[in-house]
Amino acid sequence: MLKRIFILFLLSSCSLSVFAQEQELYSFLNKPLSDKLLAIGVSIMPVEANQQNESLRRVVFNNTEKPRLTLTSAWDLTEKDSISLRIQNAMDWDLTLYVTLTDTDNSTLNAVIALPAGPAQNLVIPLKSFSSRTWGMREGITSWQSEGNLYLLPTSVVGKIDPSKIDTISLSMDKPAVAQSLLIGTMNKTDADVEQMAYYHLVDKYGQNTRMTWPQKILSNKQLKTMAEEESQELVKWSKNTPTQDIYGGIGKRPQFRASKYFRTEKYKGRWYFVSPNGYAFISLGVNTVTPDDSQTYIDGRDFMFASLPDAKSVLARFYGYANTSSGNAAQGGLGVDQGKWFDFYQANLYRTYGINFLDEWHENVIKRFKAWGFNTIGNWSDNTLIGLHKLPYTRSIYIRGDYNTVSSGLDWWGYMPDTFDPKFSQAVDDAVKLATKDNKNDPWLIGYFADNELSWGKLGDSPTDHYSLVMNVLAQTDTSPAKQAFLKQLKGKYTDITKLAKAWGIDVQQWDAIASKGFNAPLPSAEYPAIERDYGIFLANYADHYFKTVKDSLKKYDPHHLFLGNRFAVKLPEVISSCAKFCDVISFNTYTMLASQGYDTKLVAQLDRPIMITEFSFGSKTMGALWGGPISVTNEKERGESYQRFVSDAFADPHMVGTHWFQYIDEPLTGRLLDGENGHVGLVNITDRPAHDLIEKVKETNINLLEKIR
């Protein structure tokens, strides 16, 4: 504790000199090089001067399997917190470097370094396990600048060693396609707690990154208000150039189809459309998570990261709260901050901008923005009050929860798969659908319902193990599992005699009880035994049929008017997609790819001939202070806009496409959202509610051109 207080004292005194107590471990500048250094697949070149006239030695990692440099000695780092290395990436592109410390007991500490191209930096490696997730973030700081020096942290450090018995330190790369050069200098041991130093006062009073500047960065409340007024005038001008639409956003000056009170789908001249309640062709251009109250970030456990939080007695104290989001799901794996006190910078900034009636202003402004930017749909997880204004169509999700049996697929990002054969699942569906439809079944502004989100139908991969992981794990369950009982019934119906199954699958079993027992080791599909894959595929399709039919039947019971929009697939298995096509009005895909057509099987969709939607996509960047650029990161805001244009144009080149929904409206908090620590710059607006202009200009142009041309 005293040590941390001392470090924070140094920080508060504006001293970020990390290496005040450094001591040399090894210098790569020595001539001749020590016999302690072993080079495998690495060429050690002479010392040279870099662009800053600093002497460093060039080492070349050649095109061999795992080229590496290994230092061997006896180091006692008991009283030290980290080691440092002066290093420069001498290439014109980023590199991945691995640093491994090993002790005399062969325990290891493994660091992964994303080494950017550019000038020399001080690489600092903590002598303990570390990742951004331990601080509650999807991605954290990997570099920062202080007093003219650049510092670099690993993206992760995994393992545990005895710091008093370190005997080797190695630097390595995966086999490079071409030789890669680094410039390196001296390696030191240091007392620096670099995690504290890297993250200290990272976040300013507005929720922005203190380490970076950008043109729209907010520095005062007055600036917030001025920029909001300027945008308001801009929206008025933009709104004058929007295409003709009906009240629901349907395309054109007159109806192309018959009116039917509710949204439906229809195919016309080879293209699928939504049809608005008034009978106009409609394509859904939407945005997810349009809500003012989903941007909280945890404060407890990392309060040193925040430079200026409101006093507990200030008007902004209303934006504090408490939560516990610990779930045990894979999405929270390794997350070190998942409960405690939080603060909502986004709503605080709205208050600073608009005052006590900030929510009314926010609702009005969202409608104006959507109309001006060419969006016509409020997507998933959005604000109920906004939806209730009946200014834009919207979608809803049905979340099915209960005490039914579940099955692991091995992915389980949001939890295990429901056992769709369990009668308790049917009851849970009935309860969930009844609740979801209660206040919406007569609303013409509702397009339809999604069922769940990104269920783990299998693993994300192309191998048979990935594809049929759910099925194989069903076979590993006990014989009381309803899903396993259904699979056994299928197999007994086909084979009758266990010996026939054993021969078809190439397995040594003498009784059905051997398969029924818990932990049965299901065989992998193989070319030698094609019956395995056929049987697995039949069961997977049957499993999916039970899911989609159960939901469809309940929707028909409680709300026969609105559409069933599918499952928002992240795992896209043909058996499951084909099942969805039988029972759903629309097949929906979540995809993070450069083009929409890369995110689903275009041939299968053409064969099924059903309407489809992209229900999540986005392009992020590390501009505007972001630590994570999202699942698909590009260079800057201009490229985000160009990527949006390419993606949406490619999407609607497919005549089955009826909608694209961007994820999401607001940037995720710099220090991570409560749910899982995601902290991407993926929003249309940032944490201060300012639009990303270069992105929005291209989004507006793309949406309006599409609405004018697609009919």
Q: For 107-265, where are the alpha helices, taking DSSP H only?
A: 194-199, 221-239
CA neighbor of 611 nearest in space, from 572, 558, 563, 645? 563
**Start-to-end Cα distance in the chain:** 67
Residue with the bigger pLDDT between 436 and 333: it is 436
- HEC string of 339-387 equals EEEEEEHHHHHHHHHHHHHHHHHHHHHHHHHHHHHCCCEECCCCCHHHH
Q: How far apart are CA 74 and CA 95, in angstroms?
A: 29
Q: How far apart are CA 343 and CA 183, in angstroms?
A: 43
Q: Is 80 exceeded by the pLDDT of residue 15?
A: no
Residue with the bigger pLDDT between 501 and 332: it is 501
**Residue 709 pLDDT class (50, 70, 90 cuts):** confident
Question: Helix 345-354 and helix 221-239: axis angle, to 10°?
Answer: 80
Residue with the bigger pLDDT between 469 and 461: it is 469
- Cα 232-237-238 angle, rounded to 5 deg: 95
**Residue 351 pLDDT class (50, 70, 90 cuts):** very high
Tens digits of residue pLDDT in 146-177: 778 899 999 889 999 999 999 999 999 999 99
Q: Is 70 exceeded by the pLDDT of residue 371?
A: yes
Mean pLDDT across the stretch 44-64? 94
What is the residue-averaged pLDDT of the chain?
A: 93
C-alpha pair distances (Å), 32 with each of 28, 45, 46, 242, 294: 9, 11, 10, 72, 59
Mean pLDDT across the stretch 244-254? 91
Task: Please give the pLDDT value at position 143.
Answer: 86
Backbone angles phi, psi at 19, to 5 degrees: -110, 35
The edge-to-edge listing of strands for the beta sheet with 587-590 is: 563-564, 446-451, 394-398, 377-378, 284-287, 657-662, 612-617, 587-590
Q: Is 50 exceeded by the pLDDT of residue 13?
A: no
Domains present along the chain, CATH in parentheses: 21-195 (2.60.120.430), 221-241+283-380+593-709 (3.20.20.80), 406-564 (no CATH)
Mean pLDDT across the stretch 619-632? 95
When computed from its CA atoms, the radius of gyration of the chain, rounded to whole angstroms, is 29
Q: How far apart are CA 16 and CA 270, in angstroms?
A: 64
The percent of residues above 70 in pLDDT, for the chain, comes to: 97
Q: How far apart are CA 381 and CA 234, in angstroms?
A: 28
Q: Is 90 exceeded by the pLDDT of residue 10?
A: no
Tens digits of residue pLDDT in 70-103: 999 988 998 888 999 999 999 999 999 999 999 9
Q: Is 60 exceeded by the pLDDT of residue 8?
A: no
Q: Which tokens is 212 given?
A: 């970076």
Question: How much is the pTM?
Answer: 0.92
Q: Is 90 exceeded by the pLDDT of residue 369?
A: yes
Residues ≥6 apart with Cβ < 8 Å to 295: 344, 345, 346, 347, 666, 668, 669, 673, 687
Q: 305 and 209 in contact (C-beta within 8 Å)? A: no
Q: Is 90 exceeded by the pLDDT of residue 14?
A: no
Residues ≥6 apart with Cβ < 8 Å to 296: 321, 323, 342, 343, 344, 669, 673, 674
Residues facing 26 on adjacent strands? 187
**Residue 332 pLDDT class (50, 70, 90 cuts):** confident
Task: Please give the pLDDT value at position 2.
Answer: 36
DSSP at 287? E
**Residue 11 pLDDT class (50, 70, 90 cuts):** very low
Task: Please give the pLDDT value at position 334.
Answer: 84
Task: Please give the pLDDT value at position 582.
Answer: 98
Q: How far apart are CA 296 and CA 337, in angstroms?
A: 13
DSSP at 310? P
Tens digits of residue pLDDT in 265-291: 999 999 999 999 999 999 999 999 999
Mean pLDDT across the stretch 384-396? 98
Task: Please give the pLDDT value at position 423.
Answer: 97
Q: 297 and 669 in contact (C-beta within 8 Å)? A: yes
Task: Please give the pLDDT value at position 7.
Answer: 41
Residues ≥6 apart with Cβ < 8 Å to 414: 329, 330, 331, 453, 454, 455, 456
Residues ≥6 apart with Cβ < 8 Å to 588: 450, 565, 566, 567, 568, 569, 612, 613, 614, 615
Task: Please give the pLDDT value at position 20.
Answer: 52
Tens digits of residue pLDDT in 418-431: 999 999 999 999 99
Mean pLDDT across the stretch 506-532? 94
Mean pLDDT across the stretch 320-338? 89
Tens digits of residue pLDDT in 555-565: 999 999 999 99
Q: Is 70 exceeded by the pLDDT of residue 573?
A: yes
**Residue 644 pLDDT class (50, 70, 90 cuts):** very high
Residues ≥6 apart with Cβ < 8 Å to 98: 110, 111, 112, 113, 170, 171, 172, 173
User: Which of 60-69, 123-132, 489-498 bottoms out in mean pLDDT, i.e. has the lowest?
Assistant: 123-132
